[in-house]
Structure 1
């Protein structure tokens, strides 16, 4: 079943008209008709919104389509490679981008690829600068003045491929629409800045999300821990193929279920010992910290 058929089936299962679905997605009814007749695909933001609305995954929605989220064929590309011979902490400053994909490579060099379908002079508009010392590799994506923030936000893709044997601690910062981390094991990955959508697929480690923006986050075959360190944010975590233990710290933070009802925890869980037998039944831990934030847990 392709995307158009799945969308129509999901809509009818929920007894929604095209007009009602259009209102929930803030698009026109004509757009819904176009998607359901196979005459086009929604943009990434609407695809993510549809997945969240119907409690399904992006992979299920787009199993027969070539997803924009995993597309590796672009009109314009600029690549940088740097040899690694030992484990280093990676500090990667993105700036502004539409999507950042982090994954492993079997080669012993870090690879950074900038890609776009619209920024024709990409190699002159954005550069990768790498500085290295004994324990740290500092990577910066430098934008030149002619590349506007709007252009970068709409059509700049950044692929980061890291040798698995040298992966340990990764720090990412920037203003991005989508972050995808897949097929990689790490000790710690910390993101700081603004993000709309994120995903962890077939990977493990400790992830810290330091962002006050509302985030729709997806996990699929993830093991480890995810910290939502947010201030006055309303985020969603879609969980597929795994079960999670919920831990709340900070002030006035709470978890919600898929219906928007508060999940009551038995205790504050501030001093949980993750080495006990109790935690062996869980694939990963979700912690909400910060202040006055809500995190909706949707189990797919």
Structure 2
């Protein structure tokens, strides 16, 4: 329900009803009505909520929170750290089933660990945060005999970055699923192993360095995307009609095209149009293939 989504977003941002009301220039009673389903925000307030929490109107109205609340996991832990200036974030983890990174309008770095199977979450993992001048180092470490295999099966990592203080992002580790949602960064780089990557509302240059076959899904594209691989075949799905151009570098690399899964001719921008396009998809590395699939259907 929309009421539960608004309540969840407010709590995740660490806001009281009074604070949310102040940010939206409405009464606290209005917020109470929204959260109890006694009333519904009008269009202007829906847009304001969407902008405040960096969530699309579609996701807001479809009741999909940009990050699952920790209550959705049977076991969870939260680590927070106050940020007061622009920082580069260097985040490492040694294995997880899924990693979700999102930006939000707040002043705390939040790292949430969740699992339905790992009961000793607090002793099995520790989140170490070091504030070094203009950089924040985050290290999710395994302890108590926890194996990477178990972590990749049962651990979920949810990272919330205070958007106003985000500079560059480096993320490294091994995971089945990586999601970047509503994050703006000058440059973001992932290094490690990942099977599925989802981009939804990410803005900036993104580098994916992984030698595994990847399924990359883009709800949108707002900047360059570099795919760096060795002897791998990956597939990138994006909405039909989204403008982009391509660059192939490295040794024996190739880019191919599909429309709704069927082989198609090159539909990337060329010539002068490509020169004015910010969405540059670049394949680099050795002996790798990238299939770019344009989907006419709604991307899940």
Common fold: TM-score over 0.5: yes
2:257 match: 257
What secondary structure is seen at the aligned counterpart in 1 of 2:223? strand
Conserved? CA contact 1:222–1:283, under 8 Å? no
Partner deviation per Cα, 1:174-214 (whole Å, 9 max, x = no partner)? 01000000112111110011000001101211000111111
**What residue is the counterpart of 2:176 in the other structure?**
177
- Which among 279, 282, 290 is matched to residue 284 of structure 1? 279
Write the distance in 2 (CA, Å) between the matches of 1:149 and 1:221.
32
Q: Which residue of 2 aligns with 1:35?
A: none
C-alpha deviations, 1:27-74, integer Å up to 9, x for none?
xxxxxxxxxxxxxxxxxxxxxxxxxxxxxxxxx9xx98979x964311
Question: What is the deviation of 1:263?
Answer: 6.0
> Matched residue of 1:170: which SS?
strand
Q: Does structure 1 conserve the Cα–Cα contact (< 8 Å) formed by 2:100 and 2:157?
A: yes
Q: Structure 1's 66 and 161: CA in aligned 2 closer, same or farther, altered over 3 A?
A: closer
Report deviation, 1:261.
5.4
SS in 1 for 2:94: strand
Structure 1 residue aligned with 2:35: none
C-alpha distance 251-287 of structure 1, shift in aligned 2 (>3 A): same
Structure 2, unpaired ranges of 5+: 1-57, 296-300
| Aligned residue in 2 for 1:149 | 148
- Measure, in 1, the Cα distance between the counterparts of 2:246 and 2:262: 16
For residues 247-271 of structure 1, the C-alpha deviation after alignment (integer angstroms, 9 at most, x for no partner) is: 11111110112267596699xx9xx
CA distance in 1, matches of 2:273, 2:285: 28
Structure 1 unmatched ranges of 5 or more: 1-59
**How far is 1:288 from its partner?**
0.1
Question: In 1, distance between residues paired with 2:236 and 2:280?
Answer: 12
1:254 and 1:262 in contact (8 A); partners too: no
Q: d(CA) in 2 for partners of 1:65 and 1:153?
A: 28
- Name the residue aligned to 2:17: none
**1:187 alignment counterpart:** 186
Q: TM-score, normalised by structure 1?
A: 0.70
C-alpha displacement of 1:137: 1.1
User: What is the distance in 2 between the residues matched to 1:288 and 1:262?
Assistant: 19
Instruction: Determine helix, strand or coil for the equivalent of 2:150.
Output: helix
Please, what TM-score do these two structures have when normalized by structure 2? 0.70
Q: CA deviation at 1:159?
A: 0.7
Report deviation, 1:146: 2.3
Q: Give the secondary structure class of the aligned counterpart of 2:149.
A: helix
* Distance in 1 of aligned mates of 2:289 and 2:265: 11
How many Å apart are 1:277 and its aligned residue?
A: 6.0
Structure 1 82/64 Cα, relative in aligned 2: closer, same or farther at 3 Å? closer
Post-superposition shift, 1:240? 2.0
Q: How many residues align?
A: 231
Provide the C-alpha distance between the structure 1 equivalents of 2:137 and 2:220, rounded to a whole number of angstroms: 30
Where do 1:133-282 residues align within 5 Å? 133-240=132-239, 242-258=242-258, 278-280=274-276, 282=277
Q: Distance in 2 between matches of 1:291 and 1:116?
A: 37
Query: Which whole-Å CA distance do the structure 2 matches of 1:157 and 1:65 have between them?
Result: 21
